Amino acid sequence: MSAEGSSGPLRAGIVGCGAIAGNHVSAHRQAEGVEVIACFDIDERRARDFAADHGIAQPVSSLDELFALGVDLISVCTPHPTHEQVVLAAAERGVHVLCEKPIAIDVASAERMVEACDRAGVTFGCVFQRRLWPAAQRIRTAIDEGTLGDPILARIEVLLHRDASYYTATPWRGTWATDGGGVLMTQAIHYVDLLQWYLGDVEWVMTAADTFVHGDHIEVEDTLAATMRLSSGAIAQITASTALTPGLGQRIAITGTTGASVSLFEYPEGAEAVNDVWALPGQAAYSYPTEVLADRPLTEINGSLAPFHAEHITDFVTAVRTGRPPAVTGEDALRSLRTMSAMYRSMHTGRPERPDDSQPLHTERTP
């Protein structure tokens, strides 16, 4: 079912009623001409409770029931490995899809999702709301205008805190089979997306990773470092960890051939980023935190990101109505996944690896 050119209300459904789903409900309601008519979760009680909490008229017990209500678009907020089933079912019925990251835990699955949506002519987007921060947009503009010259160096830091309960309270977290990875797949993925949005495709990557703190309750990495070369010739480094107490925030910094450098800094986690370094000719400005802050609960982190979920979903609704691509497409999300697949392969092989469409993510760690 195509909504392109439609002026009537768009009927939205929520698939998966976990922590992030509330952001989607609020965001859909802030978008003009959208009605959230139903929600679905495999746990029927959770769907009923979520519907009651958020004023949704129809909690349903299956995807078929959801689609039978005539939804025009859905938000997919389920665990990572279930995304493909939901997206393919939506594409088959002509329903537009906005999916939480990562869109899948292996490249082949993501490719099937992108291809199915392309074939069906439905809009397929992925949530990387950090692209919509004014600080992130400002860097994109500086690159586009040539103020930096050609970008030659990028540095990413993802230095976060997670306690044991973050993993143990949600059984699918922290395993290769269901989470698809650790700090890279679940947290640093946002900054891999920003990196490729700014600098293009990754040519090769060399990764080292380990589980230093959370080994008693996860099998995936909690700490990672990587060096990569991009197809533009630029080089980049990523360091990421959930082993810090307290967390020290997240940053991406870019330097160009003019010698100019710019960066954004997300601190505390989930807070709207600021351009903490803006070292352009005649525009030098530096802003650093003056104190180390306490770690925030996940509900507060998600709440801080809600305004940018709203912007993301407003953009997605506009894309559905007009037929233009959304701000972050399924193909964009696939590019990030290809890069992370290469990073995980390098972690296991100890060699530089190139993004390769045909290779799945590793499902076990080599001793």
Contacts of 146 (CB under 8 A, 6+ apart): none
CA dist 183 and 220 (Å) reads: 8
CA distances to 22, 111, 197 from 115, in Å: 29, 6, 21
Give the C-alpha separation, 49 to 128, whole Å. 27
pLDDT score, position 350: 94
Q: Report the percentage of the chain scoring pLDDT > 90.
A: 86
pTM of the model: 0.93
Bond into 102 cis (ω within 30): yes
Please say if the pLDDT value at position 5 is more than 80: no
Secondary structure class of 250 (helix, strand, coil)? strand
What's the pLDDT score for residue 256? Answer: 97
pLDDT digits (tens, 9 = 90+) for 180-210: 999 999 999 999 999 999 999 999 999 999 9
Sorted by where each starts, the structural domains of the chain and their CATH numbers stand as 10-129+306-328 (3.40.50.720), 131-296+335-349 (3.30.360.10)
* pLDDT for 146: 94
Q: Which residue has the tokens 């997300």?
A: 266
Q: What pLDDT, on the 0 to 100 scale, is given for residue 127?
A: 96
User: How deeply is 299 buried, as exposed, middle or buried, from its count of CB atoms within 10 A (0-12, 13-18, 19+)?
Assistant: exposed
Q: What pLDDT is recorded for position 173?
A: 92
Of residues 294 and 247, more confidence is placed in 247
Backbone angles phi, psi at 104, to 5 degrees: -160, 175
Torsion angle of C-alpha atoms 105, 108, 113, 116, degrees rounded to 10: -170
Three-class DSSP category at 237: strand
Given a contact cutoff of 8 angstroms between Cβ atoms, the answer to whether 266 and 191 are in contact is: no
Is a pLDDT exceeding 80 seen at residue 15?
Answer: yes
Whether cis (ω within 30° of 0) applies to the bond prior to 268 is yes
| H or E stretch at 111 | helix 107-120
Q: In 3D, which of 30, 26, 66, 65 has the Cα closest to residue 302?
A: 26
The band of 7, judged by pLDDT with boundaries at 50, 70 and 90, is low
The identity of residue 254, as a single letter, is: I
pLDDT for 51 beyond 50: yes
pLDDT at 316 over 90: yes
**Residues contacting residue 124 through CB under 8 Å, at least 6 positions apart:** 87, 91, 96, 97, 99, 113, 114, 117, 118, 329, 330
> Cis peptide leading into 246, omega within 30 of 0?
yes
Distance from C-alpha of 50 to C-alpha of 54, rounded to nearest angstrom? 6
- Cβ(254)–Cβ(148) below 8 Å: yes
Is residue 363 over pLDDT 50?
A: no
Taking all residues of the chain, what is their mean pLDDT, rounded to a whole number? 93
Q: Write down the pLDDT at residue 260.
A: 95
What pLDDT does 291 receive? 82
For residue 364, the model assigns a pLDDT of 47
Measuring CA to CA, which residue among 310, 316, 312, 339 is closest to residue 124? 316
Which residue carries 């959230």 as its tokens? Answer: 36
pLDDT single digits (tens) 270-308: 999 999 999 998 888 888 777 888 899 988 998 899 899
Is pLDDT above 90 for 269? yes
Chain mean position to CA 184: 11
pLDDT in tens, 139-156: 999 999 999 999 999 999
Q: State residue 286's pLDDT score.
A: 85
User: How far is Cα 357 from Cα 166, in angstroms, rounded to an integer?
Assistant: 31
332-345 pLDDT, tens digit per residue, is 999 999 999 999 99
What is the pLDDT at residue 285?
85
Q: What is the pLDDT of residues 95-104, one digit of tens each?
A: 999 999 999 9
Place of tokens 């025009």: 72
* pLDDT mean over 116-132: 97
What does the pLDDT look like over 158-185, one tens digit per residue?
999 999 999 999 888 999 999 999 999 9
Which pLDDT score is estimated for 281?
83
Determine if residue 174 is left, alpha or beta; phi over 0 gives left, psi from -120 to 50 gives alpha, anything else beta.
left
